[in-house]
Every structure is written in structure tokens, then in C-alpha cells.
Structure 1
Amino acid sequence: MNSVELLRTLVGFDTTSRESNLQLIEFVRDYLASHDVTCALIYNDERSKANLFASIGPVDQPGIVLSGHTDVVPVDGQPWTLSPFELSERDGKLFGRGTADMKGYIACVLALVPSLVATPLRLPVHIALSYDEEVGCLGVRSLLEVLQQRPVKPLLCIIGEPTELKPVLGHKGKLAMRCEVHGHPCHSAYAPLGVNAIEYAAELIAELGRLGQQLKAPEHHDARFDPPFSTVQTGLITGGKALNIVPADCRFDFEIRALPSQDPALVADALKAYAEREVLPRMRAVSAHSDICFSELSAYPGLVTDAHSQAAELIAAFCASKEFGTVAFGTEGGLFDAVGIPTVVCGPGSMDQGHKPDEFVSLDQLKACDEMLLRLLDFISV
């Protein structure tokens, strides 16, 4: 099967993060088995999802990991003009959910398998597929625990997120948090007797905005990134029962996307300190049962690979582009890097199309990715 045929099959599996990815994983397992390649499946606790890890070549040598996530974002509420879980071709483009982010890359990797098996290799290639990347890079962590137990660490991991096949050495990290404000309800005619959770949540959100403004100061900039500073934003808020009831509860979710050199937890800690120092005492002066609680939703580290490192030299050896860049979106790359596996992000398509209705990858990009992987094969061949 070529990469287009494989992509057609992969797109046909609805692997939205809220769904199981097992049909796709089992297809890949069986496809690899048909080429005499065995793989390990690492399941979640419910055994409803799994990572996949397979090796081709001499496993006693350091090799190269080709890594991708199998889950996709929802299509709910998006004005698709084509069936999202059926591959469609038009004007040199292949449409379907996940074509760009990032089943196109996975299809190209799988299309390379027959050549990998037929060619004597001096270095192994490892295929790593994960679940739940789109909801906080959750699944890959158990896969990395398995990798850490292996006696030989890979030389390089290539995360195939869509970069138009331009090698990316850096991206920001992310911390997603939830804040729950618990006040005291009463009839709105007697508002001063209550603790308005929405109004106090609004104070906290305003403080988050001030903290975000501080991060924009020139001394915190890193010109390699766009925007060149860490960012903070509140994305979800809910609270209240009725207009004539002082709301007892309000909840909001916020995120910090931090430059690799900065710790996003410092922003969360600053907000917690502000809540304890400035907000909570005024709430408890009215009702002692008032409270403000913070919890982490998800987090992953940033990535910054040295442009003069062995990993950068390796990707330059078979990648068509010699110019390294950064991206605004996050990947699993920082987690690979954190366990000592140097990582580069490089894959077909553009994130301009990812997560959008009528998502697509061009046939030219898919072909170019096939060619890049064949150059990789030449590089690691005996």
C-alpha cells in the first residue's frame, strides 16, 4: 500500500480524542505483522486506547524514532463540505480529519515499512504511535516509560506534526489549569450578604491579564518564537444559576504557553498567591466557607534543540530544508527530549489546515514526505 492508500484507511477511523483509537492501532499492528514486524501495545488503564511501538533493524544500536499521535480533534459544529472521516481528493489535495494533523505523516511512515524490512540497516527505525496528544500529550507518557527501560537510547526522534517538512527545533511549553471559586449564595436583593463567585473569579481573571502583560516585557523576549514572549489566556468560564441569585460557584480554565526558558508554573503560583493574599480574605470576611481551588488539567514541556547538536545534523542529512525554525503550537517533542531523546518536529502539511473544517494535506507534501523518508532509509542503510 502506498501512502495515499494508507491515509485513506487511517482517515476512515474516527479517532477523535473522546473515542477509542484501538481500531486504528490494531490495523497498524496487523499491517506490520504482514511484513513480519512485531510491535508492543501499551494500553491505558481502561484498555480502551493504546500506544504502539515497533522496531525494525538492529535494536542493539541507537536509531531513529518516527513518532506520531493517532488522535484527532472533534469535527462538531464545523462547516465541513466533505465527509470528515472519508478521504476525498480534489485539486491536488487530500481532505479529511487528520490528513494534516497528523495521519498524513503516519501514512508515509507505514508506506516505508516494506523498504525498511527489505533493506539491511546499520541503525534501527522505531515507529511510535500515541493516543490523547490533542488533550494534553497524555498517552505518550506511558510509551516513554517503556522507552526509558531500553538499554540503547535513540539518536533522534522525528515528530511528524505538520511543518511543511521544514525542520523545527523549538516550541513553547503549556500548562492548563482550572480555578474553582466557591462563594455564598443569597437573593440578589441582599447581594452584600452573599459572596459572588463570578465577581471574585473576574478579579482573578483580571490578575491573570496583568501577569500576561508582564510577560510581554522586552527582557523576557525570545526572537526565535512568534509571538516572542510567553502568553496567558482564559478560555472557558461557567457559573451562576439565575440572575436573581448571587452565584455560589464559578469555574474558569486558563492556560500558559511558555517559552522553553520559562516555567509556566510561576504564573500559576503567582495567581494562587494573589488569591490567598488579596481575594480569599475578603470572601471569608462574609462567609467562612468560601474557597478558591486550583487544579492542573494538563501540561507538557517546551522544546529547544540546539541547532548545532547531533540531532540537528542528522535531520539536515536527509531533510530537504536546511533552515531550522520554531512553531507556536505544542507537540510531544518536549517529553521525548526530557527523557534524553533529542527531538525535531518535521512533517507534511501545514497547521494552517489542522483543526479546521475541510482539513487537507496536498499530494505534493505527501510525496515530499515519502521522498524524505527514503533519504532517511539511504542514510541508515548498510
Structure 2
Amino acid sequence: MEATLASLKPAHPAPLALSGPAVAYGGGKFLAVWSDERTGGIFGTRIRQDGTVLDPNIRINIGDGARGNSRPAIAFNGTSFFVVWNSLDGVDGVRVKPDGTVVGPVFHVIRTDESFSPVGVACSPDICLVTFTIAGDAETVIFFGRVTKNGVVITDSDRTLSPFPNFARDAAVTWNNQRKEFLVVWSDERGAGAGHEDIYGNRVKEDGTILDDDGFPISTAPGAQRTPDVTWTGRRYHVVWSDNRDGDPDIFGARVYGNGAVEDPDGIPISTASGDQTEPRIAHHNAKSLVVWDDTRTGAHRIFGARFGEDGRVWDPTGFAISQGDEPQEFLPDVAYGGGQFFTAYAGADAFEPFEPRFILGTRVNHQAEVTDIPALLLTREP
């Protein structure tokens, strides 16, 4: 018999997470994963469509520990979840069945002590593309690796997506099921120096063929464009990022056609509220995407969101509050769509500190921008 959250939640749970969550939908359930201070370093839990939290935390990494504060990434290939993270000696991953069973062994996308977060993953039914950043002596470069649906790593002869010497970081990736290719986006200095990063993209076929050489520009606005995310809508890509062209960081987006043509080269303002808007994440269903981000307009860190239409319209130009202050600081969101609703997972803590333990919280959001779970669901709890 499945227990409810209320029956499993301890009176005073201990914060265990070290980094923000990633979330995906598959097999009728959401799976949220995060970096954790317990042995293994990567844990997760499943959430039913009705908001029931099913697991007292699954140990996802059944191998060695993850690198401290390494935020994992997750995707669903139609059969299994693929979870990847930055480990002590490279980038590792594992498959998880929709029933919560972790399928070993852990696969090693790359063995190196020069990789660092964030990692990204997107899956076709047969291939998952994993993105990560490698640090050299005078550059950071976006790399990718491919993994079969059975968890077997494919050796690629050319794995770099960004040019070097150069500083590129913060890659994200999505799968285009119509063109049978992936789009990877990232933040890229291109010689302009820190504080002047732009957003670039590159398309990759399932067989590893790189379609856009060193990448194509998506946003080259003044100032810094950072921490992008991307989703395929069925008609085009939606790309979002944090953008400080007007001073404080705001959330901007652009639509990109499947052939790489950028429909909105100047960007579309999604949130230009007071304070800082950073770390956007995006998920799509029907004619709208839900964009979520870390927002300090109230002074504390909170999670806000806005709906971004297929036609470029922003349905919630002032944004709406997704987190409600269950924790003094709430930050590092992710979002996925499934079962008729969006699910947003995020970190919560007493203070905005990068290396302190924290809780992972979650809430459902419907197409009318209504938040279902107040207070938020508590996804981490003592074993």
C-alpha cells in the first residue's frame, strides 16, 4: 500500500540535498533527482500525478560518490529515465525504470578529472545525448557523449561542440523527434570576455554528426546571456536564458526553427521585474511553454514562472509566484510536463548558501498558471 506524504513526513526532517533538482516525466509519474550528502551522492523520488510522493528517497547512484554539489540531469526515452551527473572522475549515469528500480551498472560517459557541472541529457527512443564542460589550460569547451537505450556508451571521434581557445559553459539539450536530431545550447564568450557571454547552439544527429560547425548565434545582445535552457515544441525550439542587457538579470527567450534559423534574434522579454531573475528552465505542452526561474523581486529567493506561447506571446508578463515561502530561501528550479500538468521542483533552505544542506520541494502547476500544492510537497525526508 502506497503511503501518503503526510504519513511519511517526519515532524522535523533533516535537510539532505546539496544541489538543486532535475525532474522528468515518464511511465505515468514524475521522477525528481538531486545531489545529496548521503553515500552515493545522487538520490531521487517519484511523484504521482495526484501529488503523492512515493519513495522515501531512492539511491540513484549505486556506484561511487558524485562530485560535491553536482547538479544531476534527467531525461526519459519512452522506456527508462536516464540520470547523469558529474562524478569525481568524469561524467557518470544510470537508468531508472518508472517503478523506481535502478538498472546497473553505472555507465561512464567520460573519464576525466577536468569535467564540471552542469551536465545535460536528452533522449530519443534509441540514443541519449549527454552534454558537459571540460576545462583546459586556457579554455572551457562544450563536449557531448552518446549512450544507447541499453546504457552502453558509444565512442565518438569528434565530441566538441564549441570552439577553443574560448570559454563556454552551461550547456542544455533537447530532442527534436521530427528532424531526428538534438539541439544543444550554451553560454559562450567567443573572445569577448567574462560579462559579455552570448547564447549559441549546435545541432547533432543521432549518429553523432555535428551539423553547425562551431555553433550558431541565438542571442548576441549587449551584456551577458547565461544559463540557457531549451525545449522542442513540435513546431520550433523555445530557448530561454538569463540576460543582463538592461542592468539586473532578466529572463529572455527566442524561438528557433528546426533548421537553426533564429526567429527572434533580439530576444523576447519574458520577465523584466525588479531584482534578479536567473536560472530559467522550460517545459512545453500544446501551444505554451512554462518558464520557471529564481527570482529576488521580494528580497528573498523565490520561484516564479510565466507561460511562453508558440506565437511568441508572454501570457504572464509580470510572472506569477510558484513557490510560496515554505522555506526562507527557494531557488534552483526545474520543470517538466506530464499527466495534464507541469511539475516544478526546487531547493529550499534557511540561507542562500552553495554548500549547505537543503530540502527539495515540488509543486504542480496547471495550464491556467494555478499552483496546486500549497504548501509545497516535501521531496526530501529522513530515511
Q: TM-score, normalised by structure 1?
A: 0.26
The answer to which structure has the higher helix fraction is 1
Largest Rg, 1 or 2: 1
- When normalised by structure 2's length, the TM-score is 0.26
Greater RCO (Cα-Cα under 8 Å, separation 6 or more) = 1
